[in-house]
Structure 1
Amino acid sequence: MRGKFHILTGPNGAGKTSYLSWLADTTLAQIRDGHSDYRRVVCLSGTVHDRYSVGIWSTRTIASDDCVYLGYRTNNNAFSDISPFRSLALHFLYGKRPADRISKSLAAEFMVQLGFKPEMRVTSRRYNGRVQETYVFDFSRDDAPSVAGGFDSIAGCAIEFARDDRLLSVSHLSSGQKWYLLTILAACFCVHDGSLVVIDEPECSLHPEWQLEIMERYLSILEKRGVAHTTVISTHSPLVTSSVPNRRSVLCNLPADAMWRDTVFHGQTADTVLSSQFGVVSPRSPEVISLLQAGLHFLAKGEQGGDAFKEIVDRLRSFNLTLDKDDPLFDAFDTVLTIEGGL
């Protein structure tokens, strides 16, 4: 569904990553054949184990206008955490679509909120007597200085960010910081009208608070930029699943679902999403709470001796739930599961 935010879920081995790879390959081929309404494919991955094809990840070293790969793969058997940032720098330096004021302003605002100066520094590799040069992408400024001669190749360049008056290389950032920065900078500078964006496991390495906000911020940036796009993600996170407004998103759970369907999870608790979408039951899952309330209702009426009450107790026990004694629900569970007739 063009223009929608697609959420793909399912157990490990269900084919989510393979689907994303197929979708990226198929769309890029159609773009290059002139048979697609899309203009660009943007591929990101929160994990180094993405399965994007060589036709996708080989574009990391060129400022291709129809494909942007911001994953970690550098060849069939090698990965690099700095590689996607070099690809970003490549598009800053040589991309056909210069960054506009709104995109820079949004990037600067985000980086400051994350505790960084609103800039990314790229230093060329010194080789064959060439002078080492540094190019600073300052997102708080409107001007863009001309590209220095030392950047005829992005390979081997150093990428640094500034925080607390210190320069930090990419390797000194946490996994979560790197991924959050990469995703938001991609939303600011790499996603344009007509883009299909494919993101594999956006929750990787993120604190739950960031899991809840990363896709919400991503969409907010694209909305403020006025970008018409379609995004497809795969995720195991109930927080990511519940973070996108229902009106914007559709959902498919592999292998059970054959079609995309409207989502109803925005703003729901993680327990609700875990139970309803991922099949993982917790003490606060709607099904468990409903059974607990029914059991307490039977107890209040003194009807705990019947088969209906026993069925409730058996069902609750089948979940193998464990609650701490200081949990507000402990006494209720303990009462239902240990009362005479429920033994």
Structure 2
Amino acid sequence: MRALLLLPLSAIYYIIYIIWNIYWQKKKSVKINANVISIGNITVGGAGKTSIAGHLAEALLARGKKVALVARGFGRPEKAPVIVYGGEETDWRKCGDEPAILARTIKGLSIYVDSNKTEAAIKAAHDGFEYIIIDDGFQHRNLARVYDIVCLDGKNPFGNGLLLPSGRLREPKKALRRANAIILIDPGSNSIKLPTAVPVFQAHKKIIGIKSLTGEPVDLTGKKVIGFCGLGNPESFHSSLETYGCQIAEFMPFPDHHIYDEGDIFEISKRVCLSEAVGAVTTLKDLVKLEQLWPADISLHYLEIVIELDNESEFYKLLGL
């Protein structure tokens, strides 16, 4: 019913999109002296694009390439442009939750965080990086790129098939023709109609395990927990908790990139106590915003998940690696 009521706004959105698309078809994009690779999607919400961007960064670093990643740093309280470095202590408030995760997990990666991605990429190229990965860059058409990679949720790639705000689509499905490759993450059994001229790869989420607030492995198989997250696709995290084998006493979804306050933490802690759960389990994306605030008397854990590309060698061959 909500989607139906919002259809007139989606029609207006589509008209604006047509004008926007014509504008970018005619406008010259900014070229820089680096190999720019965009990782993005055509829906709002999580589709694994930041994980794939990190995966690509690690692969390039392993091949001895000079690699930088550009991100907007959505939701960060401090808005100034900043560069953070993999392997160093990083404050998510300066760079955003997703860049903070990448800095924590990928040693040697330089991450340029700026609401103006073109300016950040220009700076990275000036600093001598030969490969620049643009996280969530498919709609950022001001910057020329050598490859456009689009990530799709393999089980629900287009939501209800409608444009914002009635649905989850940022662009019509035909926009996928601009892509150089499509990655389907955790594809289901249903066939998905995709442009025949665009190579399609598959990837799967792999659950590594659950870790404590301090990073120690913890076995919570069969244990009662409160699950919560601030993701664009919270159902995916709920499903991963079930796959791991937790007994989910209650699941609390928050908005994507949610900034937790004392009231949120009190409510989560209260539900842990009332349900007699062993603790709460969230994502690393959420944990980086909570570790300095979380009360010592309530156990907090995070589910560690990685995304593994099928036919990885063919994917990197497409990128000329």
TM bin, normalised by shorter chain, reads under 0.3
Structure-1-length-normalised TM-score? 0.24
Q: Name the larger-Rg structure.
A: 1
Question: Which of the two has greater helix per residue?
Answer: 1
Q: Which has the higher strand share?
A: 2
